[in-house]
Amino acid sequence: MKAKLMKRDKTVFVAIDYQEKIIKAMKDADEIEDRAAKLIKGAKILDVPVLVTQQYTKGLGETTDKIKEALGDFEPVEKKTFGAMKTPEFRNHFASFARMTGADTVVLFGIEAHVCVMQTALEMIDAGYRVFIPVDCISSRRELDKRAAVQRMRHAGAIVCTYESVLFELLKGADEPGFKEISELVK
- Determine, yes or no, domain membership for 85: yes
Q: What was the pLDDT predicted at 130?
A: 96
- Determine, yes or no, domain membership for 3: no
- Determine, yes or no, domain membership for 32: yes
Q: What was the pLDDT predicted at 97?
A: 83
Q: What was the pLDDT predicted at 3?
A: 62
- Determine, yes or no, domain membership for 1: no
The span from the CA of 44 to the CA of 15, in Å, is 13
| 3-class SS of residue 53 | strand
- Determine, yes or no, domain membership for 127: yes
Query: What is the residue-level pLDDT of the chain in tens, covering all 187 positions?
Result: 456 899 999 999 999 999 999 999 997 899 999 999 999 999 999 999 999 999 998 989 999 999 999 999 999 999 999 999 999 999 998 998 888 889 999 999 999 999 999 999 999 999 999 999 999 999 999 999 999 999 999 999 999 999 999 999 999 999 999 999 999 999 8
Domain assignment of residue 116, given as a range: 8-186
> Could you give phi then psi for residue 97, rounded to 5 degrees?
-65, -45
Q: How many CB atoms are closer than 10 A to CB 135?
A: 19
The CATH number covering residue 181 comes to: 3.40.50.850
The span from the CA of 138 to the CA of 15, in Å, is 10
- Determine, yes or no, domain membership for 47: yes
Q: What was the pLDDT predicted at 4?
A: 87
The span from the CA of 163 to the CA of 176, in Å, is 18
The torsion angle over the Cα atoms of residues 177, 38, 10 and 171, rounded to 10 degrees, is: 30
- Determine, yes or no, domain membership for 22: yes
Which residues is 50 bridged to in the sheet?
13
Q: What was the pLDDT predicted at 43?
A: 97
Residue 77: C-alpha distances to residues 35, 57, 143 (Å):
22, 10, 27
Number of domains making up the chain: 1
- Determine, yes or no, domain membership for 2: no
